[in-house]
Chains A and B, each alone.
Chain A
Amino acid sequence: MEGKTVTKVAQSGLDKKTLLKFLHEMLLIRKFEDKAGELYARGKIAGFLHLYNGEEAVAVGAVSALQKHDLLITHYRDHGHGIAKGIDVNRCMAELLGKATGCAKGRGGSMHFFDASLGFYGGWAIVAGHLPLAVGLGLASNILGKNQVTLCVFGDGATNNGYFHEALNLAKLWTVPVVFLCENNLYGMGTAVHRASAVTEMYKKAAAYNIPAEQVDGMDVLAVREATDKAVDHVRKGNGPYFLEVITYRFRGHSMADPILYRDKGEVDEWKQRDPIVTFRQKLETEGLLSAQEVEQIERETDEMIAEAVRFAEASPDPPLSDLYEDIYANP
Chain B
Amino acid sequence: MPMITYREALHQALREEMSRDERVVVFGEDVVAYGGAYGVTSGLAKDFGDHRIMDTPIAEGVIGGAAVGAAMGGLRPVAELMTINFALLASDALINHAAKVLHMFGGQMSVPLVVRMVGGGGAQLASTHSQSFEVMFAHVPGLKVVTPATPADAKGLLKSAIRDDDPVLCIEHALLYRVRGEVPEGEFLVSLGKAEVKREGKDITLVAYSRMTLVALEAADRLREEGIEAEVVDLRSLRPLDMETVLASVRKTNRAVTIEETWRTYGIGAEVASRIQEEAFDYLDAPIQRVAGVEVPIPYAKHLEQAAIPDAKRVVEAVKQLLVRTGG
- Chains A and B belong together in one complex: yes
* Contact in complex: B61, A162 (CB < 8 Å): yes
Closest A residue, CB atoms, query B66: A136
User: Can you spell out 12 A-B residue pairs with CB atoms less than 8 angstroms apart?
Assistant: A102-B106, A104-B104, A129-B65, A132-B68, A133-B97, A136-B75, A139-B69, A328-B141, A328-B142, A329-B102, A331-B192, A332-B240
A134 to chain B, nearest CB (A): 6
Query: Given that A132-B66, A140-B73, A330-B166 are known contacts, is A169 also in contact with B107, CB under 8 Å in the complex?
Result: no
Number of interface residues of B (CB under 8 A): 47
Q: Of A13-21, A106-114, A223-231, A293-301, which binds chain B?
A: A106-114
B9 to chain A, nearest CB (A): 23
Closest B residue, CB atoms, query A95: B106
* Contact in complex: B106, A327 (CB < 8 Å): yes
Contacts of B64 in A (CB 8 A): 132
A317 to chain B, nearest CB (A): 14
* CB of B178 closer than 8 Å to a CB of A: no
**How many contacts between A and B, using CB within 8 angstroms?**
154
Query: Given that A114-B106, A114-B108, A327-B107 are known contacts, is A170 also in contact with B92, CB under 8 Å in the complex?
Result: no
* Contact in complex: B103, A144 (CB < 8 Å): no
Contacts of B105 in A (CB 8 A): 104, 107-108, 112, 114, 116, 122
Among A102, A116, A124, which residue has its beta carbon within 8 angstroms of that of B97?
A124
* Contact in complex: B66, A133 (CB < 8 Å): yes
A145 to chain B, nearest CB (A): 10
| Distance, CA A122 to CA B98, complexed state (A) | 13
* CB of A143 closer than 8 Å to a CB of B: yes
Contacts of A135 in B (CB 8 A): 62, 65-66, 69
Q: Which of A122-177 contact B (CB under 8 A)?
A: 122, 124, 126, 129-144, 146, 148, 162-163, 166-167, 169-170, 173-174
Contacts of B306 in A (CB 8 A): none
| Distance, CA A146 to CA B73, complexed state (A) | 10
Contacts of A115 in B (CB 8 A): 108
Contacts of B36 in A (CB 8 A): none
* CB of B223 closer than 8 Å to a CB of A: no
Give A85-118 as 1s and 0s: 1 = Cβ < 8 Å from B's Cβ atoms: 0000000000000000011111110001011110
Query: Given that A129-B96, A135-B69 are known contacts, is A326 also in contact with B62, CB under 8 Å in the complex?
Result: no
* CB of A180 closer than 8 Å to a CB of B: no
Query: Given that A166-B62, A169-B59 are known contacts, is A136 also in contact with B73, CB under 8 Å in the complex?
Result: yes
| Distance, CA A94 to CA B112, complexed state (A) | 29
* CB of A187 closer than 8 Å to a CB of B: no
| Distance, CA A134 to CA B71, complexed state (A) | 11
* CB of A121 closer than 8 Å to a CB of B: yes
Q: Of B38-46, B49-57, B252-260, B288-296, which binds chain A?
A: B49-57
* Size class of the contact patch on chain A: 35 or more
* Contact in complex: A132, B62 (CB < 8 Å): yes
Max chain A Cβ within 10 angstroms of own Cβ: one of B106, B142, B165: B106
Query: Given that A129-B97, A140-B75 are known contacts, is A167 also in contact with B103, CB under 8 Å in the complex?
Result: no
* CB of B287 closer than 8 Å to a CB of A: no
Q: Which of B128-147 contact A (CB under 8 A)?
A: 141-142, 144
| Distance, CA A163 to CA B52, complexed state (A) | 24
| Distance, CA A174 to CA B23, complexed state (A) | 17
B273 to chain A, nearest CB (A): 24
* Contact in complex: B107, A105 (CB < 8 Å): yes
| Distance, CA A138 to CA B63, complexed state (A) | 13
Closest A residue, CB atoms, query B65: A132
Query: Given that A143-B75, A326-B103, A328-B103 are known contacts, is A132 also in contact with B141, CB under 8 Å in the complex?
Result: no
| Distance, CA A131 to CA B69, complexed state (A) | 9
* Contact in complex: A136, B65 (CB < 8 Å): yes
Among B65, B71, B72, B104, which residue has its beta carbon within 8 angstroms of that of A163?
B65
Among A129, A134, A162, A331, which residue has its beta carbon within 8 angstroms of that of B166?
A331
Contacts of B142 in A (CB 8 A): 328-329
Closest B residue, CB atoms, query A125: B96
B170 to chain A, nearest CB (A): 16
* Contact in complex: B106, A137 (CB < 8 Å): no
Contacts of A71 in B (CB 8 A): 73
| Distance, CA A167 to CA B23, complexed state (A) | 22
Query: Given that A121-B72, A141-B73 are known contacts, is A170 also in contact with B166, CB under 8 Å in the complex?
Result: no
Contacts of B166 in A (CB 8 A): 329-331
Among B56, B70, B93, which residue has its beta carbon within 8 angstroms of that of A140?
B70
* CB of B319 closer than 8 Å to a CB of A: no
Query: Given that A114-B105, A116-B108, A170-B56 are known contacts, is A140 also in contact with B96, CB under 8 Å in the complex?
Result: no
Other 16 A-B pairs with CB < 8 A, given A129-B97, A133-B66:
A73-B69, A114-B104, A116-B105, A122-B105, A129-B65, A129-B96, A136-B66, A137-B70, A139-B73, A143-B23, A166-B62, A170-B59, A170-B66, A329-B142, A330-B110, A330-B166
A143 to chain B, nearest CB (A): 6
| Distance, CA A325 to CA B301, complexed state (A) | 47
| Distance, CA A169 to CA B141, complexed state (A) | 31
Query: Given that A107-B104, A122-B105 are known contacts, is A137 also in contact with B110, CB under 8 Å in the complex?
Result: no
| Distance, CA A307 to CA B65, complexed state (A) | 39
| Distance, CA A105 to CA B103, complexed state (A) | 9
* Contact in complex: B65, A133 (CB < 8 Å): yes
Contacts of A132 in B (CB 8 A): 61-66, 68-69, 93
* Contact in complex: B107, A326 (CB < 8 Å): yes
* Contact in complex: A129, B103 (CB < 8 Å): no
* CB of B77 closer than 8 Å to a CB of A: yes
* CB of B164 closer than 8 Å to a CB of A: yes
| Distance, CA A142 to CA B50, complexed state (A) | 12
* Contact in complex: A329, B144 (CB < 8 Å): yes
B207 to chain A, nearest CB (A): 23
- Nearest 4 CB-CB pairs, A to B? A136-B69, A132-B65, A140-B73, A105-B106
* Contact in complex: B93, A129 (CB < 8 Å): yes
* Contact in complex: A330, B73 (CB < 8 Å): no
Contacts of B66 in A (CB 8 A): 132-133, 135-136, 139, 170
